[in-house]
Amino acid sequence: MGALSFLWNSTRGARLRPWRSPYLLWRIETYSGMHAEEIGAKDVMRFLWQEKWQFLRFLRWTEEIRKESKTPHA
């Protein structure tokens, strides 16, 4: 559920075209060094395929953080 939640939130305003999401473009730019203005649909798909294991690890991490933030701390 965390992965879907992250993708839903990160593509707000561009859900049918996630490669236009400013947040995803920023994340890819930050991680890869590609310039956000030059990133297209093929670049996003290629990046996700090449970095799929890192991306899945990131999604698991976001789920852990989400669960931890909902856990009441003593």
* Interval 28-45: pLDDT, tens: 999 889 999 999 999 999
The C-alpha atoms of residue 73 and residue 46 are separated, in whole angstroms, by 40
pLDDT for 16 equals: 85
What HEC string does the chain produce?
Answer: CHHHHHHHHHCCCCCCCHHHCHHHHHHHHHHHCCCHHHCCHHHHHHHHHHCHHHHHHHHHHHHHHHHHHHCCCC
pLDDT in tens, 18-30: 889 998 899 899 9
Prediction pTM value = 0.69
Encoded amino acid at 25, one letter: L
pLDDT for 8 equals: 84
